[in-house]
Amino acid sequence: MHRSELRKGVLGWKTLEPHSSDSRGGKETRELGKVTSLVSTENGTKLVGTARHAIAYHLDGKSFGPIESVSSELRTPLGVFVTLFDMARSRGLRGCIGNPFPKMSLLNETVRCAVDAAAMDPRFGPVQRDEFLQSIIVEVTVLSPLEHILLKSPLDLPLNIKVGRDGLFVDGFGTRGLLLPQVAVDEGFDEEEFLNECCLKAGLMPDAWVTGSVKVARFQGQIFSENEPGGKVFERKLRGLGRQG
């Protein structure tokens, strides 16, 4: 299952206050709009290329960065995750490291997360040079700022997220978990299953979100991936599999 590792960072997000009810027993809902475009296709392609170059430099024992960018998008501090897939293992996960609370520019945060995904993911051994060149696909997910979903009843949380649009972050006040938007789509989760899995990721009971004892935030992600190792970069669009409407 595609899982990601979080960098340590300072918690910070904006709050979504409940403001409307639907016709299903007065349940609170937030409007679920379109997926936000955070960077241009050109800059998304540059992020993937930069991530690949940063890993290649690291594997050659060289340092890559910091980098100055002429693009205001790439100079903006935005959360980012770098995911590595191994084509030799049927596109199995090979590493994933990210930070939803960046202190550097998007471009330089991508460099740091890319190197850590290749060398520091505790679930895997370090990526080797030949392996990287021959079978590793690089994927970069740019994150929108986290939005804390504050509701009168936590049972309304599934109505306020949507598979195919949102990623989730759970703060258990000492333990945290994050799942990227593509995880729910790839695994076929509905909204409740997505919440359960994110709580498990945080080391909590799967129904911790029901108790109201944890903070839940949603975010969006813009995904750019290679079609083959070092190949053409495309923007991956997700299709929701959960609640409709």
> Is 236 a domain residue?
no
Task: List, for residues 52-91, the tens digit of each pLDDT value.
Answer: 999 999 999 998 878 888 899 999 999 999 999 999 999 9
> Is 166 a domain residue?
yes
> Is 27 a domain residue?
yes
The residues of the chain scoring below 70 in pLDDT are: 1-35, 240-245
> Is 197 a domain residue?
yes
For the residues of the chain, what is the DSSP string, one character each? ----EEPP-----EEE----B-TTTT-B-----PPP--S-HHHHHHHHHHHHHHHHHHHTT--------S-HHHHS--EEEEEEEEGGGTTEEEEEEEESS-SS-HHHHHHHHHHHHHHT-TTSPPPPHHHHHHHEEEEEEEEPPPEEE--S-GGGGGGG--TTTEEEEEE-SS-EEEE-HHHHHHHT--HHHHHHHHHHHTTS-TTHHHHT-SEEEEEEEEEEEESSTT--EEEEPP---S---
**What CATH number did the domain enclosing 200 receive?**
3.30.700.20
> Is 145 a domain residue?
yes
> Is 109 a domain residue?
yes
> Is 238 a domain residue?
no
* pLDDT value, residue 245: 40
Domain that holds residue 65: 5-228
Say how many domains are in the chain: 1
What global pTM score does this model have? Answer: 0.86
> Is 241 a domain residue?
no
